[in-house]
Amino acid sequence: MDQTAARPGRRRRPAAPTVQDVAVEAGVSPMTVSRVLSGAAHVRPELRARVEAAVAKLDYHRNENARSLRPGHRSGLVGVTITNIANPYYAELQRGLEEVAARHGRRILVGNSNEDPALERQLVADFLGRRVEGLVVVPSGGPDADHLQPAALGGVPLVLASRAVPGVDVDTVLVDDVRGAREATATLLAEGHRRVAFLGHRLSAFTGQRRLEGFRLAHAQAGVPVVDELVRVGQQDAASAQQALTALLELDDPPTAVFSANNRNTVGAIRAIAARAATGGPPVRLFGFDSFELADLSPVALSVVDHDARELGARAAGLLFERLEGTVPRAPARLVELPVVLREHLRDR
Amino acid sequence: MDQTAARPGRRRRPAAPTVQDVAVEAGVSPMTVSRVLSGAAHVRPELRARVEAAVAKLDYHRNENARSLRPGHRSGLVGVTITNIANPYYAELQRGLEEVAARHGRRILVGNSNEDPALERQLVADFLGRRVEGLVVVPSGGPDADHLQPAALGGVPLVLASRAVPGVDVDTVLVDDVRGAREATATLLAEGHRRVAFLGHRLSAFTGQRRLEGFRLAHAQAGVPVVDELVRVGQQDAASAQQALTALLELDDPPTAVFSANNRNTVGAIRAIAARAATGGPPVRLFGFDSFELADLSPVALSVVDHDARELGARAAGLLFERLEGTVPRAPARLVELPVVLREHLRDR
């Protein structure tokens, strides 16, 4: 125990073991040692075992931080801010990011902004202070985006994921929000619905704007007026979405169909519609943006605009590493829009 | 753009701005600057704004890495390995961890082990190389846990979350697995069920063992023999759990009730039972460990053993920071078992 407690001091001694020491101990090349330490694939298991044994015996710890301070060396860190890890969509996005980062020998620093622009600003400053090599931000969509401008990032590349930020000209990966919302809404109008509710998150969130745009576009193309009293935005969680739709369903002339613009709003809508049905209310048609686990087992008929959050995270990381590894260091900002797939009447599958 | 590209070089010049420069520019104390940079709460908004403006103007980046190399200074990083971020349970756990870490001015490095002991070992070695101050590990439960022994961690404190590791004597936060599984199973037996299936994840996972132990204990206490042919373990995802239960339901003498030992197995069980019901099969009673979103809207009658994953993450971080901040630097390893709550017949609510 005392010995253990003494170790942190010992790690800082000049006599600390080197990669060379580990290589000699393991009887492998220093390259093999660093490939094992960086988690590279394709290292023969027996070699990996010998290196790990030597690392343990010598109590060797590679000092990534020291490496990051030497000119030309990298910190090996990518800073990631997401808006709400409790939303399974963002957990999948993080998973895709981390998998690609790991393949490039990087680790991700993760922070939740909870949709709070001030917290997002702090996270970015904190990550820069930790010398991250790059940033992937799911922007919370505050009024002021100075902290995301290249000038504020000191040359650290940024990729925006899931949402763009007007005026911030950097690599961005989106899903095709407008098309998904337009086609889903068009489906409801084609079924004859004329009072279609819109449940959305904050409009300051770019996806919120784009999905409302698709909703309005479908109405315009069908020559059906949008019923403004049925448009409810600003619901950031399932509970507030449930409240919002419950209120709409209590109108004298309630909506007969609902387009919910993200999975938080869809989950709230399912609860509101199920509660209404339990009291003998008329069925309400629901079409949601984003799929989620058990969507196909929803107790109310449901269609969803599906897309691949894990792929979105992977693509965002891919764009970042193209910048970091010099494949496209000077290319202009790129916009990737991932396709959506409409999955209708999941309950009937 | 060239200017931007030149910044990384500039950041390494000795002439880089200091906290003092930022304080002078902002007209505040250096303490206020560092409190803003560390994301401390209770900084007056106008002061924060002035500091952020000065940081942007001077292009100041606090060098956390350099700080971490000076004796007595901290890296500000906590390494976290979880087994499957796609499981919403672990997303909630990560959220609780990050919230507490942020309150202590730390950031979390997150890695997914995907239940792979070799990957977990690499993640831990990588995190130590990055000079994390502490580790929180959801252990994948491989046969060899040397990499989690204090001797291998060089004095870096470790907290195990959600699962213990036999022989690794460190702070550990669990849910009360045995009691939850025992009471859930006892409920099924008290309802008269005599052929109760068990769906579990890998038994090498500590929680898997404890939950099967609770299942067996309830049978012993009720004087009902466990039907071994109905015990299916090793299902790590919903798809394999659905397969396993579908096979059991096709037996000549199928189970009338199912205890599923984690939410992946419960989701698979719901799909298998719903499919069976769709073909006119008899109802199957389901009691699952872990709750999940929409559990109360499950299309098949469902009860769950509920507990708070976010709280579990927060408690794990709390135990870690007690070690890091010297509150209990020398206390023996502590075991915290969080309570469970049985929520019965969610559909009837």
Q: Residue A297 is nearest to which of B88, B151, B270, comparing CB atoms?
A: B270
Chain B hits for A94, CB-CB cut-off 8 Å, are: 85, 110
Residue B105 burial (C-beta neighbours within 10 Å; 0-12, 13-18, 19+)? middle
A140 Ramachandran zone, left/alpha/beta (phi>0; psi -120 to 50): alpha
Residue of B nearest to A84 (CA): B95
Question: A226-278, pLDDT tens digit by residue?
Answer: 999 999 999 988 999 999 999 999 999 999 999 999 988 999 999 999 999 88
For residue range B231-263, list pLDDT tens digits in order: 999 998 899 999 999 999 999 999 999 999 998
pLDDT (0 to 100) of residue B1: 35
Mean predicted confidence (pLDDT) in A43-58:
79
Taking 70 as the threshold, does the pLDDT of residue A68 lie above it?
Answer: no
Q: Is A41 on the interface with B (CB under 8 A)?
A: no
pLDDT at B3 over 80: no
pLDDT of residue A327: 72
A8 touches chain B (CB under 8 A): yes
Tell me, yes or no, if B179 comes closer than 8 A to chain A by beta carbon: no
ipTM score here?
Answer: 0.71
Q: What angle do CA B12, B20, B10 make, to 5 degrees?
A: 15
3-class state of residue B230 by DSSP: helix
CB A330 within 8 A of CB B332: no
Tokens 């023999």 -> residue: B225
For the beta carbon of residue B30, count every other beta carbon within 10 angstroms. Answer: 15
pLDDT given at position B2: 37
More confidently predicted of A206 and A138: A138
Lowest-confidence segment of A191-195, A334-338, B104-108, B305-309 by average pLDDT: B104-108
Q: In sequence order, which residues have a C-beta less than 8 Å from that of residue A3 and are 6 or more positions away?
A: none
Provide the sign of the torsion angle of the four alpha carbons A329, A330, A333, A337, taken in this order: negative
d(CA A74, CA B155) in angstroms, rounded, equals: 26
Q: What is the pLDDT of residue B40?
A: 57
Q: Residue B145 is encoded by which pair of tokens?
A: 């846990």
A57 vs B: CB within 8 A:
no
What pLDDT score was predicted for residue B74? 67
Residue A4: per-residue pLDDT: 37
Local structure of residue B186 (DSSP, 8 states): H
For B:118-137, CB contacts with A below 8 A are 118-119, 121-123, 125-131
pLDDT at res. B65: 45
Which pLDDT tens digit goes with each residue over A105-140? Answer: 899 999 999 888 888 998 999 899 888 999 999 998
DSSP secondary structure letter of residue B33: H
Q: How far is A92 from chain B (nearest CA, A)?
A: 6
pLDDT mean across residues, chain B: 85
- CA A119 – CA A140 distance, rounded (Å): 9
Contact with chain A for residue B227, Cβ under 8 A: no
Contact list, B88 vs chain A (CB under 8 Å): 86, 88, 91, 293
Residue B8 has pLDDT above 70, yes or no: no
* Mean pLDDT, rounded, for A285-292: 92
Contact A91 B95 (CB under 8 A): no
Residues 144-163 of A with CB under 8 A from B: 146-147, 150-156
The Cα of B302 is separated from the nearest Cα of chain A by a number of Å equal to 13
Range with lowest mean pLDDT among A9-23, A202-216, B17-31, B51-65: A9-23
Task: Give the pLDDT band (50/70/90) at residue B151.
Answer: confident
**Average pLDDT for chain A:** 85
Chain-chain contact of A88 with B92 (C-beta, under 8 angstroms): no
Chain A neighbors of B271, CB-CB under 8 A: 297
CB atoms within 10 A of CB B238: 21
pLDDT value for B193: 97
| pLDDT at position A316 over 80 | yes
Confidence bin at A42 (pLDDT 50/70/90): low
> Which of A19, A77, A110, A273 has the highest number of chain B CBs within 10 A, making it the mutation to test binding with B?
A110
Most confident of A31-40, A188-197, B44-53, B195-204: A188-197
3-class secondary-structure state, position B318: helix
Q: Which pLDDT belongs to residue A71?
A: 40
Contact yes or no for B155 and A99 at CB 8 A = no
As a whole number of angstroms, the distance between CA A326 and CA A106 comes to: 16
Q: For chain A, what is the HEC assignment?
A: CHHHHHHHHHHCCCCCCCHHHHHHHHCCCHHHHHHHHCCCCCCCHHHHHHHHHHHHHHCCCCCHHHHHHCCCCCCCEEEEEECCCCCHHHHHHHHHHHHHHHHCCCEEEEEECCCCHHHHHHHHHHHHHCCCCEEEECCCCCCCCHHHCHHHHCCCCEEEECCCCCCCCCEEEEECHHHHHHHHHHHHHHCCCCCEEEECCCCCCHHHHHHHHHHHHHHHHHCCCCCHHHEECCCCCHHHHHHHHHHHHCCCCCCCEEEECCHHHHHHHHHHHHHHHHCCCCCCEEEEECCCCCHHHCCCCEEEEECCHHHHHHHHHHHHHHHHCCCCCCCCCCEEEECCEEECCHHHC
Could A297 and B292 be called an inter-chain contact, meaning their C-beta atoms sit closer than 8 Å?
Answer: no
Convert the pLDDT of each residue in B177-218 to its tens digit: 999 999 999 999 999 999 999 999 887 667 888 999 999 999
pLDDT at B330: 75
Chain-chain contact of A122 with B39 (C-beta, under 8 angstroms): yes
| Cβ distance of B59 and A154 shorter than 8 Å | yes
Q: Who has greater pLDDT, A69 or A197?
A: A197
The Cα–Cα gap between A107 and A109 comes to 7
**Confidence band for B36, pLDDT divided at 50, 70 and 90:** confident
- Name residues 246-275 of chain B within 8 A of A (Cβ): 267, 270-271, 274
pLDDT (tens digit per residue) in B82-100: 988 878 889 899 999 999 9
Q: Which domains does chain B have, with CATH numbers?
A: 3-62 (1.10.260.40), 77-175+309-339 (3.40.50.2300), 177-306 (3.40.50.2300)
Give me the residue from B7, B62, B121 closest to A154, CB to CB: B7
